[in-house]
Structure 1
Amino acid sequence: MYTMPMMELRNVSDFFKGKTILVTGATGFLAKVFVEKILRVQPDIKKLYLLVRASDPYLATQRLHNEIFKKDLFRVVQDKWGADFGSFICNKVVAVAGDVSRDMFGLIDVKLSQEMLDDINIIVHSAASTNLDERFDVAMGTNTMGAFNVLNFAKSCRKIEIILHVSTAYVCGPGEGLVAEEPIHMGQTLNNSPRLLDINLEKHLIKEKLSELHAQNANEETITKTMKEFGMIRANLHGWQDTYSFTKAMGEMIMGNMKDNLHLIVTRPTMIVGTHSEPFPGWIEEVRTIDFLIAAYCKGTLTSFVGHSEIVLDTIPVDMVVNSMIIALLAHSKNLFKNWIYHSASSLRNPFKYSDLQDIMYSYFTKNPWVDQYGKPVVVTKKLTLYSTSMDQLPLNKGSKLERISDLYKPYFLFQGIFDDKNAEKLRIATKGVPGMNKEFNFDPKAINWKDYMMNIHFPGLVKYSIRSKM
């Protein structure tokens, strides 16, 4: 049994007291939940710099208030501060207009960038382009070169203590068996190709392809379509299933290979779903990962999809991902662990099968039918049918958006791997017995009752915050 001095992890909020934190991709789903948790558990942080993509500080501040602090997610913190909430945010949070795909984030405010370089202790790099088939140039800029630029920025920070890089568990490609929490090495490919993966070559090929398109006077639609296809071609060539996992893998290669003496943690979540408990159960934003399937099923637009009933759909609530990130930051700040890669996953310890999703969706939406914009309930008459052998069996319209989505998600809904989380388990063991820790910072997938969570928390939250808001 793994043991360690429990006193070391006694107080999470003490660790963040007086700290200055930079969060990239601050308007993203995971980053918002991280920001909310920090402001809730430790209002005495020194400063929270939130990097958002905007052309100037005014627009960055507008985005911050409209896309982050006005969200229902912050109602617990708002209730706590009441009329002082606005001034609390103004005192603690700084909107930074920038872009991770640019050197030094393209910061033009010299005074602000100097303050950041002088004060930042922790960087949480969450910015990512998460479209599976993003344009290759866009995904490379954000997911790969973004990692490079964050690393370079961190090396210029005088008081930097630690960087946490948010990756994805699916950098492993279409894995089988137990997927270990191991680094991806620079140049590694997934298809046993004798030729190493060369990131500089990929960048050169992007530049070449764009020049070629501009020389042909291609319109924006053609450029986007071509660059999306090009990304998928390059990803498949090296063994990855899509542009997203490919460019995220290259970002990890850069992080691991060029970190030098920087203290680095990489967190690899699986398919992130809505909150389990905090700040309240069921908060979610947009329709993501498995949720597009749930949304299409309850609207009656999807009756069959690719998959196999025994496949484990590795999903993890967003608040558990955030809790694991916070505990990893605390543990590494005290040099308690040598492992630096952590899966945030459920498939090993509490598997949620495709058949469970089929049963629970049918059970929920027959009792609670989705109501369309005309006030008419959509009646679900049967369980989702699964086809595991060939996409041709799916009764989808050829060339339709649904067929495209099916092709993109096929590797995830037929994924045979199980994510080992022994490093994450060591973190959990270290928190056992520490007063309040398991309640306040729970990230144990065994604590999830999947039927109860889906029926009473996730589906209602999805309908309230995401499916309904899209109407």
Structure 2
Amino acid sequence: MEIGNIAEFLRDLVQLAFVEKVLRVQPNVKKLFLLVRADDAEVAERRVLTDVMAKELFDALREKLGIGFDAFISEKVNPVAGNIVCENLGVEDYDLMKELYKEIDIVVNVAATTNFYERYDVALNINVLGAKHVMEFAKKCTEMKMLLHVSTAYVVGESEGIISEKSFQFGETLVDGEYLDIEEELKLIVHRKEELKMKRSTMEVEKSAMKELGIKSFEDVNLEGLRMAMVKCDDNTLLDFDPKDIDWDDYLINIPIPSVLKKNLCK
């Protein structure tokens, strides 16, 4: 299998594992809203049915429910067409958005690009502005109880010893004396694109320039951390697991499709 195909397969596998686990062992989740990159509701539903529910990973759930599998999926899963990089999560249906604001009480954001050679503008749109849009959405949900944002293991700076959870001020980093100004980073991207436009650069040149800008923003300490993690990874056993055997209590994952969950105790 080529490297590109492997990367695509891994992304699909992780996102499917998250959805499968919620549906199989969380009966208190009344409705699972899945935000899917799609042009409309019909395409979003087709993507979920063909790209998600038809996979072998759902065989355990399919075996458990038998002939009731399709009805269960129809009742529990509600695909929502949108895009995390857009305001209001790209949901254009006003009535649907009002329903989401009213019904949702738990938001889980696991959307990210984990490509370390990503275009800098794409990475900021998804990993930074995407998280911002999710937060803004969560603030408008009237029944909101929890917003869970899942990130990667790679951050700016290093810490030793016991690392406790704490709130960071906007722009604060783990490196003393350094400040991360997102607005300046966004302006840098706009300025670089304007330079390329004045030179009548092609889309391929712009793509390369944005990737180079991302490389310059990627610290050596992060690269070393990634390298060490890859050394410890055994390709022969990377996918050798059964979802029923995983201890999910402390298991966090990072997937490219964001999920918006409606959790309501069954009465």
Please indicate the TM-score interval, normalised by the length of the shorter structure: 0.7 to 0.9
CA distance in 2, matches of 1:44, 1:210: 48
Q: Map of 1:202-351 to 2, 5 A cutoff? A: 202-236=185-219, 241=222, 273-274=238-239, 276-279=241-244, 319-320=246-247, 322-324=248-250
Equivalent residue runs for 1:117-128 within 5 Å = 117-128=101-112
SS in 2 for 1:171: coil
- Which residue, out of 64, 68, 75, partners 1:80? 64
Alignment of 1:144-223 (within 5 A): 144-173=128-157, 175=158, 177-178=160-161, 180-183=163-166, 185-189=169-173, 192=176, 194=177, 196-223=179-206
2:172–2:178 CA contact under 8 A, matched in 1: no
Distance 1:188 1:117 in 2: 31
| Residues 191 and 42 of structure 1, relative CA distance in 2, 3 Å threshold | closer
Q: State the AA in 2 paired with 1:217.
A: R
**1:228 deviation in Å?**
0.8
How far, CA to CA, are the matches of 1:201 and 1:111 in structure 2? 36
Q: Given the superposition, is the C-alpha separation of residues 176 and 112 from structure 1 closer, same or farther in structure 2, using an over 3 Å criterion?
A: closer
Q: Secondary structure at the match of 1:225?
A: helix
% identical equivalent positions: 36
Larger of the two Rg values belongs to structure: 1
- How far apart, CA to CA, are the structure 1 residues paired with 2:142 and 2:171? 31
Instruction: Say whether the 8 Å CA contact 1:128–1:142 is kept in structure 2.
Output: yes
Counterpart amino acid of residue 102 in structure 1: C
Worse-matched range after superposition: 177-186 or 162-171:
177-186
Residue-by-residue CA offset, 1:176-230 (whole Å, 9 max, x unaligned): 75472444543234554x4522111001111111222222222222111110110
Cα distance in 1 between the residues matched to 2:114 and 2:204: 20
Unpaired runs of 5+ in structure 1? 1-26, 246-269, 281-318, 326-343, 346-471
| Distance across 2 between alignment mates of 1:98 and 1:271 | 34
Counterpart of 1:323, as a letter, is: D
Residue 240 (structure 1) shift: 5.8
C-alpha contact (below 8 Å) 1:52/1:95 kept by paired residues = yes
Is the Cα contact below 8 Å between 1:116 and 1:157 reproduced in 2?
yes
CA shift, 1:141, in A, is: 0.5
Matched residue type, 2:29: I
Question: Which residue identity lines up with residue 99 of structure 1 in the other structure?
Answer: N
Which deviations, in whole Å up to 9, do the C-alpha atoms of 1:400-420 show, x marking residues without a partner?
xxxxxxxxxxxxxxxxxxxxx
Higher RCO structure (Cα 8 Å, ≥6 apart): 2
> Over aligned residues, Cα RMSD in angstroms?
2.8
- Counterpart amino acid of 1:69? M
SS in 2 for 1:170: coil
Query: Which moves more between the two structures, 69-78 or 208-217?
Result: 208-217
1:108 lines up with 2:73 in the alignment: no
Superposed CA deviations along residues 421-461 of structure 1, whole A, max 9, x for unmatched, are: xxxxxxxxxxxxxxxxxxxxxxxxxxxxxxxxxxxxxxxxx
Match of 2:8 in 1: none
In the comparison of the two structures, how many residue pairs are matched? Answer: 232
The residue number in structure 2 matching 1:70 is 54
Question: C-alpha offsets along residues 127-163 of structure 1, whole Å, 9 cap, x if unaligned?
Answer: 1011012101101011011111111000000111101
Q: Which residue of 1 aligns with 2:259?
A: none
CA distance in 2, matches of 1:99, 1:106: 5
TM-score (ref. length: structure 1): 0.45
2:244 aligned partner, one-letter code: P
Work out the CA distance in 1 between the residues paired with 2:25 and 2:174: 41
Equivalent-residue separation in structure 1 for 2:203 and 2:85 (angstroms) = 20
* In structure 2, distance between residues paired with 1:146 and 1:226: 22
Where structure 2 has 5 or more consecutive residues not aligned to the other structure, the ranges are: 1-10, 227-231, 254-267
TM-score scaled by structure 2? Answer: 0.77
